[in-house]
Chain A
């Protein structure tokens, strides 16, 4: 034990053997079977990380725009390239997922939606909404472009 918090992660089985409890997210697969609640939860964190990296791209885009014509045309050309489009696709999918599942989290914070069938249903709805919003965004994008 290196940290006091480790004390919470050590327990005993009913046979009395010491066990190290698995820590999130390393319990997925090994200690926990697939559940929509854990899947939406870990994806919320992963999409948040993706958006964190995406914020770096937003900063770069704004700094290039403020730097002048030359820098801005370079970043616009990169974003319009195949690599740029793949990056932007991932960014929009993460944004729409985090947006939809974030609403779910806000509803829980307000004390609503804790019934397990309801939770499963709107968990699936988040995936469907993410796909629809992402596809809608790119359909409009290619129409406007």
Chain B
């Protein structure tokens, strides 16, 4: 089954400049789509590392937690996880809000508030990891 079976006439309703830039009708949508895929690929190994870390830190006391995060590979991997995870979360949350909130003003406000919350959570997590790493 191929979509190239029959020639289809397509009227381009875009300016020559936007076509030349490869922007298409989706504007920033393709960048969003691509970032969601890139972060998901990064999260494949990072989430497995996270699961392993959780197992290693089960029932850990504070000293063990500090010792774990003080190891450079661990703090670096946790920072990478935090970046990729919250970035991916922000992109996913945006899609869900765009699907279910029809009112444009409410949609924009909801996305801004949720992205703000996610950014704050990412910062709080990263600062905590850095504090443990340098303590």
User: What is A's interface to B at a CB cutoff of 8 Å?
Assistant: 2-3, 5-6, 24, 45, 48-49, 51-52, 55-56, 58-59, 62-63, 65-66, 68-69, 72-73, 76, 80, 92, 95, 99, 102-103, 105-106, 109, 137, 140-141, 144-145
Near A by CB (< 8 A), chain B positions 58-75 give 58-62, 65-66, 69
Task: Looking at the assembled complex, report how far the CB atom of B49 sits from the nearest CB atom of chain A, in whole angstroms.
Answer: 12
Interface 0/1 of B122-135, CB less than 8 Å to A: 00110111011000
Contacting residue for A49 out of B40, B96, B127, CB 8 A: B96
Q: How far is the CB of B72 from chain A (nearest CB, A)?
A: 17
Enumerate chain A residues within 8 angstroms of B62, measured Cβ to Cβ: 65, 68-69, 72-73
Max chain B C-beta neighbours (<10 A), residue from A24, A66, A103, A137: A66
Q: By DSSP majority rule, is chain B's interface helix, strand, loop, or mixed? A: helix
Q: Give A62's nearest chain B residue, CB to CB.
A: B128
Whether the Cβ atoms of A137 and B55 lie closer than 8 Å is: yes
Binds A, one of B8-16, B18-26, B99-107: B99-107
Interface of A is mostly: helix
Instruction: Give every chain B residue within 8 A of A24 (Cβ-Cβ).
Output: 99
Enumerate B12-51 residues with CB–CB distance to A below 8 Å.
37, 40-41, 43-44, 47, 51
Beta-carbon contact of A58 and B40 below 8 Å: no
Q: B65 touching A65 by the CB < 8 A rule?
A: yes
Cα–Cα, bound, A62→B129 (Å) = 7
Minimum CB–CB distance for B60 against chain A, Å: 7
* 11 extra interface residue pairs, beta carbon distance < 8 Å, beyond A3-B104, A62-B125: A2-B102, A3-B102, A62-B128, A65-B69, A66-B129, A69-B61, A73-B61, A95-B51, A102-B40, A103-B44, A144-B58
Q: Which residue of B lies closest to A91 (CB)?
A: B54
